Chains A and B, each alone.
Chain A
Amino acid sequence: MIEVRHLQKGFDGQPVLNDVSFRIENSESVAIIGRSGCGKSVLLKHLIGLLKPDGGEVLIDGEDIVPMNERQLLRVRRKFGMVFQSSALFDSMTVAENVAFGLRRHEHLTEAEIAWRVASALDVVDLPGTENKNPAELSGGMRKRVGLARAIVYEPQIVLYDEPTTGLDPIVSDSIDKLMMHVRDNLKVTTVVVTHDMRTARRVGNRVLMMHDRMIYASGAPDEFFASQDPVVRQFIDGVADAKN
């Protein structure tokens, strides 16, 4: 379970998050949406301790991770898998080495077992036989899939996605959405996806949180949320710019 209480964060005196609070139950899938620069990715990075807040608490299974140092956080992070917007694959390693990274570091497995787990994870993301390729040889969509394989190979309890479909064409975006739904439904993981792709939010999230003005502005089940008549929510869903924009 993830619980965020009164989270505050600013950079160089500019507030980015202001009194953000919400709770995500185990196996729940939450899409966090909001305009570019509204602090969605910053919020996501707080959930796994990549950023320290200026105030507030982040509880993972009831344990506040804010006071923890980097070494103490390593234990908590084993519960997480994270897919980055840029994929963040290790470019000095092959696909197999990328996917196997977490297994080699934290689990006592034989090379045969690691190879099997890597092949299984690559099968899940529909990239069988790519083990020996370098990240530079892959397309953007393939890199995202490898990033997802790396995040799920050690069977985490929580998977975080940072803008997983940004920069991809609609067909590849669709395949990434389906993969996220597959992981959500088959591995029974808690899913948090940060996106401004309405289709991804609607399909992947069991609940949608919208950020606006540095805080959680609206929240609800997808059907309820996308039917909202609130002008701010409506404007974002319909993608209508202000006159000044």
Chain B
Amino acid sequence: MIFSANKRVVESLAGLGRFTLLAKEAAVSLFTLKVAWRDLLYQIFFVGVKSQTVVLITGAFTGMVLGAQTYFQFHKVKMDTATLAVVGVSMSSELGPVLTALMVAGRVGAAIAAELGTMRVTEQIDALRTLATHPVDYLVVPRVLAGLIALPLLTVESISIGIAAGYFAGVVLLGIDPAYSWLHMLKYTGDTDVAIGLIKAFTYGGILTLVGCYKGMTCGLGAEGVGKATTEAVVSASIAILITNFFLTLSLERLFNSL
């Protein structure tokens, strides 16, 4: 049993090492490679445009629930008009980027892992290598770059629709005063909240695409291997996003407060 636990720890550390090497290879390639615009545009379309529906629905309903819940609590202490301020700050710096990233990890991270995993088990990645093409250059870089570009844009959408939906829930459905709600939202939601949200989104875009690529390119053989890689891509990316979020929240808040 101890042997088995040791083996799992060693395997996990080895996996972390391989992931770090892939990230390093992708970073080097990102700065030195001539970008294939056609591939990049397709990936931005796939990661960004095709994720719109899920991101908008998630943002809208999160904004409404947050608005309603905040109102129910604040109403007890006669702070109704602060509701939209809470929605604005929460959506901008936390819920917008995190929920967008989690939803995109489920959709895009899984799809990347399945696609690259299938390419691996059908020897298409080996074929790429025999055609003197580095798999990181051709497969990983366009996907990671697309994630880095698309996630901040999707997050802006999510934040906007979340605040709008929170306004709808608070003002239209629950009868909060619209002018003061809007005023407080503008007063308490600062540029730094949006900046923190966008920096987080950029980071999560890199994480979820890189994890999807890593899981796909290192998946086990056969249909079972591809299935497992797909599941692991979503789970690992989601956990990585949540853990990173904690550290980013602490460090970015301190950084922006010190400026």
B251 within 8 A of A: no
- A88: B residues at CB distance < 8 A: 122-124, 126-127
Considering the complex, which residues of chain A in the window 109-162 have a beta carbon less than 8 Å from any beta carbon of chain B?
A: 150-151, 160
Most buried by B among A49, A71, A160: A71
- A151: B residues at CB distance < 8 A: 130
User: Closest Cβ of chain B: how far from A162's Cβ, in Å?
Assistant: 9
| B123 nearest CB neighbor, chain A only | A88
- A71: B residues at CB distance < 8 A: 134
Most buried by A among B122, B123, B124, B132: B132
Q: Contact partner of A84 among B119, B126, B132, B133, CB < 8 A? A: B126
| A76 nearest CB neighbor, chain B only | B132
- A75: B residues at CB distance < 8 A: 132
Chain B contact patch, size range: 10 to 19
- B124: A residues at CB distance < 8 A: 88-91
- B243: A residues at CB distance < 8 A: none
Most buried by A among B126, B129, B131: B131
Q: Contact partner of A102 among B122, B126, B131, B134, CB < 8 A? A: B131
A118 and B131 CA atoms in complex are apart in Å by: 15
Q: Contact partner of B127 among A74, A84, A106, CB < 8 A? A: A84
| A147 nearest CB neighbor, chain B only | B127
A50 within 8 A of B: yes
Q: Which residues of A contact B (CB under 8 A)?
A: 45, 48-50, 70-71, 73-75, 77-78, 80-82, 84-86, 88-91, 101-102, 105-106, 150-151, 160
A-B contact list, 20 entries, CB within 8 Å = A45-B126, A49-B129, A70-B134, A74-B132, A77-B129, A77-B130, A78-B132, A80-B130, A82-B130, A84-B123, A86-B122, A88-B123, A88-B124, A88-B127, A90-B119, A101-B131, A101-B133, A105-B133, A106-B132, A151-B130
